Structure 1
């Protein structure tokens, strides 16, 4: 499966909706970022170029999606100003928004244990099945993450796309969906965590280790790198609430 097909499948599988245009794909991505708390009312969106890079689509596609969301009152667009989130009432536009809200009710320790188990399985499968085009996508994603070191929202958008691309590469749609759901846990609070100095750089270093395991087709290395990364996420999130 090529990268574009994989991204469209992410929307279709997670949302249970038929595959549509790439513009609709970006609409659902942005509303998912809102539903999971990455973006909140008043938050500015990354620029068109940055958002296009994070999602591997054209600027024209991003522009069209923003226009759709502005007509729904979700985004506010003003000449010469950054596009900002105007409403979190995304209705049916969001991908499984209710499911993300349900995930937020879980205990942090339980989610950590579940992510360790599921992501280990997903990483091992991805190391065997991942395609060269997806590896290229992940390399480009890391480059986009590095360009977002001073922008927590933009980094988290890139971060989610990096993770879900790997989940999809496992070849198991059910595990990929569960992993993506658990990834969304307390994602709104992660923005505060990644705003702390050095946190984004540490996550990118973890991502490079994950990518290295996938590039060498080493299930043990990929699984271990995922475990290290998830434990870092768990630890920093727990400190936030201590």
Structure 2
């Protein structure tokens, strides 16, 4: 498999690994369900660190290309013909420039969804949204659970906007950005700031005032975008340094 993939430039490790694996997995030379080599073997074959391989596989899992099974390994999900539409639509968004553009698109879609939700969100959904805020507050020191509550908060707003296309877009974009969201909330003080921002969005939604909700979500997207871009920049610098 190493010969089929080839080594990559360590300066652009994650995006290069993901794209190289993407090309190989959609070439039709391996069968669906095939177990891929272990991270250590892939890292050695590609001449890069295991962390870059791990992040690349995580990105490909989000795209639906592979299935990562803890304790078992990573497997190819479908055939080349099934995977090709996914690679065409999302494959180029794995690098830093496209990720920055994705952050900007996500910001505007989140603001649009929040404004719609201000008038359409039911009392039951508002109550559930409050529960997600409580979950975030209770898990400031647990990044995994905090981010899960964060994700549910945003997806519930998108769901309340009652627009399936908007919901699907936001779900896909959020999934693609998940690695960067996790890095941007690595420290508890960063999680606290994010909680405060989400709380202000929630409080604005309680008023059902679209303008207030738009302002709160815009403020959140501005600071969240800065966190994501800062994390992306740090990763790029580290990749070049490595």
The TM-score with structure 1 as length reference comes to 0.59
> Which range is displaced more, 104-113 or 172-181?
104-113
Which of residues 212, 216, 219 is equivalent to 2:203? Answer: 212
What displacement does 1:130 show?
Answer: 0.2
Distance in 2 separating the partners of 1:136 and 1:33: 33
**In angstroms, what is the RMSD of aligned CA positions?**
3.0
Secondary structure of 1:239's partner? helix
Gaps of 5+ in 1: 1-31, 38-71, 77-85
Distance in 2 separating the partners of 1:212 and 1:236: 23
- Provide the residue aligned with 2:226 in structure 1: 235
What displacement does 1:123 show?
Answer: 0.9
Count how many residue pairs are aligned between Structure 1 and Structure 2: 165
Structure of greater Rg: 2
Secondary structure of 1:195's partner? coil
Distance in 2 separating the partners of 1:166 and 1:179: 10
What displacement does 1:90 show?
Answer: 7.8
What displacement does 1:171 show?
Answer: 0.7
Which of residues 179, 184, 190 is equivalent to 1:188? Answer: 179
- Provide the residue aligned with 2:94 in structure 1: 104
Q: 4+ residue stretches of structure 1 with deviation over 3 A? A: 32-37, 86-92, 98-106
Determine if the alignment matches structure 1 residue 221 to structure 2 residue 212. Answer: yes
Cα 1:217–1:33 shift into 2, 3 Å: farther
Q: Provide, for residues 67-119 of structure 1, a one-character-per-residue CA deviation record: whole Å limited to 9, x for no partner.
A: xxxxx98244xxxxxxxxx5454837xxx9x5796343562332233123222
Gaps of 5+ in 2: 1-57, 235-242
Q: Higher relative CO (CA 8 A, sep ≥ 6), structure 1 or 2?
A: 1
Which of residues 152, 164, 173 is equivalent to 1:173? Answer: 164
Instruction: List aligned pairs for 1:18-33, cutoff 5 A.
Output: none
- Provide the residue aligned with 1:74 in structure 2: 69
Q: Provide, for residues 191-234 of structure 1, a one-character-per-residue CA deviation record: whole Å limited to 9, x for no partner.
A: 22211241111111111111112111011111121111122121
More helix per residue? 2
The TM-score with structure 2 as length reference comes to 0.59
